Structure 1
Amino acid sequence: MTTLEVIADQTERLRRALGVAAGPSSDFDLNPVVALPEGRKLRPAGVLVAFQPGRDGLDLLLTKRSSHLKHHPGQIAFPGGKVDRGDADETAAALREAHEEVGLDPDTVEVLGTLPAHETVTGFSITPVLALIRVPFTPVPEPGEVEEVFTTPFSHVMDRAYYTVQGRRWRGQRRLYYAVPYGPYYIWGATARMLRGLAERVNAERGET
């Protein structure tokens, strides 16, 4: 297939994946023995899972957080953040944050839909907003939050063979998590878990297990 045909096929696979039934996910999926506090209140947030046309197909937009941040310094993340008072919903928050963090104009983004919410160990309920960037885009990283903006191929993050289960110590216990490294970028934790959930749906709609 030509690159344009590959992009069209991958785009259609994303659209169809939204119709595949799936439940919510969490940072605790691989750690069922972790006891969650009763009555916990989760803060709503939205992240933009945005794909754009690349050289060989669709590419996923990701950021490397600033190493100077108090929370999650240097980690790989989607553009996005918590829902502010002025945001209509999680989608609005994701688009606003993407504009602030990487200079992405919301008018150039086609929102395809939302994926099931993901609960984090830090008390957020994150809604992944699946989207396409429709015009050529030159990122402008917000220096206080974003150290780098980069892309990963659709073919990499949608292939479950690239995902591994790894672990590290957290609050005195070994916590397991998904990781899907790409080159020098260590994509792990909530970002990897949400991507793997999308990969499961993309492959499920093709009848693959």
Structure 2
Amino acid sequence: MGPTEQAAALRRALHADGTPSSDFDLNPDVRLPEGRVLRPAGVLAAFQLGATGLEVVLTKRSSRLKHHPGQIAFPGGKQDEGDADPVAAALREAWEEVGLDPASVEVLGTLPAHETVTGFIVTPVLALIHAPFTPRPEPGEVDEVFTAPFAHVTDRARFTIQSRRWRGTRRHYFTVPLGPYYIWGATARILHGLAERVDQ
């Protein structure tokens, strides 16, 4: 599948069947509290043309951060008061974290929201990058910026389910490792949801 077909597949994925996801999908015994208040956030799943076709931009979070140090994530973050919506939050955060100019980004649409164990309701924003992009990692937040091939992150056969102890119980989660990068948790779950929709 070439880049044009990959872009078309991303556009079709926005209209495929799908439901909101969460970090608890693989843990049916978890009982979430009624009336919980979730904080809105947006992450940018932005694909650019690379050596293998389209490739999604990912970050390795700074090892000095208090929350999720060293984990692989999409650019993005919580919606601030000045953000019109989670899409605006994702674009702003991508500019701040990796230097991605919003003017070079075509927002295709949003995927179903994802609830995290940290109390966020995250809107994944699917996008294409149309201009040359040289990452500029924000030193306090991002250790590294890299890309993952479309063919890797949309192939459900590459995803596995693993588990670890978390807050006294065993928590299961998706992973989709890529070379030295251990992509897991919310990022892998969102990518798995995208892969399911691309397959339809």
Match of 2:42 among 43, 46, 51: 46
Is it true that 1:112 corresponds to 2:141 in the alignment?
Answer: no
Please tell me the residue identity of whatever aligns with 1:159: D
SS in 2 for 1:45: strand
The residue correspondences of 1:97-108 to structure 2 (distance < 5 A) are: 97-108=93-104
- Cα distance in structure 1, aligned partners of 2:52 and 2:33: 46
Question: 1:56, CA displacement in angstroms?
Answer: 2.2
- Cα distance in structure 1, aligned partners of 2:134 and 2:86: 24
Match of 1:163 among 148, 152, 159: 159
Instruction: Give the corresponding residue for 2:91.
Output: 95
The residue correspondences of 1:98-177 to structure 2 (distance < 5 A) are: 98-177=94-173
- Structure 1 unpaired stretches of 5+: 205-209
Could you report, residue by residue, the CA deviation over 1:167-198 in whole angstroms, capped at 9, with x for unpaired residues?
00011000000000000000000000000000
- Cα distance in structure 2, aligned partners of 1:85 and 1:56: 38
SS in 2 for 1:59: strand
SS in 2 for 1:9: helix
Could you report, residue by residue, the CA deviation over 1:56-77 in whole angstroms, capped at 9, with x for unpaired residues?
2001100000000000000000
SS in 2 for 1:85: coil
Fraction of identical pairs, as percent: 74
TM-score, structure 1 length as denominator?
Answer: 0.95
Instruction: Give the corresponding residue for 1:203.
Output: 199
- Cα distance in structure 1, aligned partners of 2:176 and 2:66: 24
- Cα distance in structure 2, aligned partners of 1:138 and 1:159: 27
Instruction: Give the corresponding residue for 1:62.
Output: 58
The residue correspondences of 1:15-26 to structure 2 (distance < 5 A) are: 15-26=11-22
Give the alignment's Cα RMSD to 1 decimal.
0.7
SS in 1 for 2:12: helix
Question: 1:136, CA displacement in angstroms?
Answer: 1.0
Please tell me the residue identity of whatever aligns with 1:47: V
- Cα distance in structure 2, aligned partners of 1:20 and 1:161: 19
TM-score, structure 2 length as denominator?
Answer: 0.99
The residue correspondences of 1:66-77 to structure 2 (distance < 5 A) are: 66-77=62-73
Please tell me the residue identity of whatever aligns with 1:68: R
- Structure 2 unpaired stretches of 5+: none
Is it true that 1:191 corresponds to 2:180 in the alignment?
Answer: no
Please tell me the residue identity of whatever aligns with 1:101: E
